[in-house]
Amino acid sequence: MKSIVVCKDLWKSYHQRPRIGFKELLVKRKTVGQNRFSREWALRDVTFSVERGKAFGIIGHNGTGKSTLLGLLLGTLVPDKGRISITGRVASLLELGAGFHPELSGRDNVFLYGAILGMTLKEIRRVFQQIVEFSELGDAIETPLRTYSSGMITRLGFSTIIHAPADVLLIDEVLGVGDARFQEKCKDYLIDFRKRNGTLVIVSHDMAALEEMCDDGVCLNMGSAACIGPMSEVIRHYQGLVHAAQSSTEVGLS
């Protein structure tokens, strides 16, 4: 099997003083001391690859570089060192409905969002009916988005993204979309997506869902890959880290 996603020796750092301006010059904010955001490298030498049709999970504490890794895979960020290659189209469920406008109808928003995701008008027209059906919005598709509940908006966002042609789907904590029934539907869809040889990269804190969905995974710790391998093993490693952190704080308290 050929790997569809390859990351080799990825290094990524953010600049210490990201923004300069008169305010910063005048106020002379003290440089932030030693906290986890001022660390030099957000990602340190991360290497992995994902084969076509597999699901890959990414876990780790907050601020250990999970979102950075997804940004790199998506192409919104560029690595300082290392190489990423992805064969095929990438779609992201990083943020459902980025670019939705509340004053526009659901229909207009689907077209706008579809175009933002890189679909052509023709492609959107072809799948529009399916999007509406999957989102279960019915006639509400013609009313402005501001009248929607937040569940309806995420449903519409999710439905639009999954109808964009993609070989690799990046998912960031959006497995909990809508009510329980819709979540089931999403899960079914993702399983079906994999059957059609689609590849998933999932960031989540929901260990049960990850264990169920993913074949392999990586556990990030302070930007480095602490453990790469079969998902169940990676989860065990992560739980070990969590326990270690807990017991060390307990020791510190006592």
Partner 1 sequence: MELLYLLVLKDLKVRYKSSVLGYIWALANPFAFAFVYWVAFKFIMRVEMENYSIFLITGMFPWIWLSTSIIQSTRVFQVNSSLVKKVNLNRAVLPLSIVVGETVHFLFALPVIVIFLAMAGGQFVHLSWIWQIPLLILTQVVFVYPLALMFSIANVFVHDIEYLVGVAFSMLFFATPMVYPISMVPQEYRPYSEASPLHALIQAWRTVLMDGTVHDQYVLYCLVWGSVFSVAAFLMYRRLRHRLGELL
Enumerate binding residues for partner 1 (CB under 8 A). Answer: 14-15, 18-23, 71, 74-78, 90, 92, 94-95, 98-99, 101, 103-104, 108, 111-112, 115-118, 120-121
Distances in whole angstroms, Cα of residue 176 to Cα of each of 12, 98, 205, 248: 29, 17, 11, 32
CB of 123 to partner 1, least distance (A): 10
Nearer to partner 1, 112 or 207 (CB): 112
* Residue nearer to partner 1 on the CB measure, 169 or 227: 169
Least distance to partner 1 from the beta carbon of 23, Å?
7
Distance, in Å, from the CA atom of 26 to the CA atom of 34, rounded to the nearest integer, reads 23
Residue number with CB closer to partner 1 (85 or 247): 85
Cα distance between residue 172 and residue 158, in whole Å: 12
Lay out the sheet containing 90-93: strands in order across: 81-86, 3-12, 43-51, 224-230, 216-221, 55-60, 199-203, 168-172, 90-93
Q: Which two tokens stand for residue 145?
A: 């988005």
Residues 6+ apart with CB under 8 A from 102: 144, 145, 146
- Pick the closer one to partner 1 by CB: 25 or 251: 25
**Which of 10, 180, 16, 157 has its CA nearest to residue 79?**
10
| Beta strand pairing call for 55-60 and 81-86 | unpaired
Q: Collect all residues with Cβ–Cβ distance below 8 Å to 2 and sequence separation of at least 6.
A: 51, 52, 87
Is 56 within 8 Å of 200 (Cβ atoms)?
yes
Looking at the Cβ atoms of 91 and 235, the one nearer to partner 1 is: 91
| ∠ CA 35-38-43, rounded to 5° | 110
Q: What is the DSSP letter of 32?
A: P
Is the CB of 153 or the CB of 234 nearer to partner 1?
A: 153
Smallest separation, CB 121 to partner 1 (Å)? 5
Residue 116 or 207 having the CB closest to partner 1:
116
In the complex, minimum distance from the CB of residue 140 to partner 1, in angstroms, rounded to a whole number: 18
Smallest gap from residue 229 Cβ to partner 1 (A): 29
CB of 99 to partner 1, least distance (A): 5
Q: How far is the CB of 182 from partner 1 (least distance, A)?
A: 21
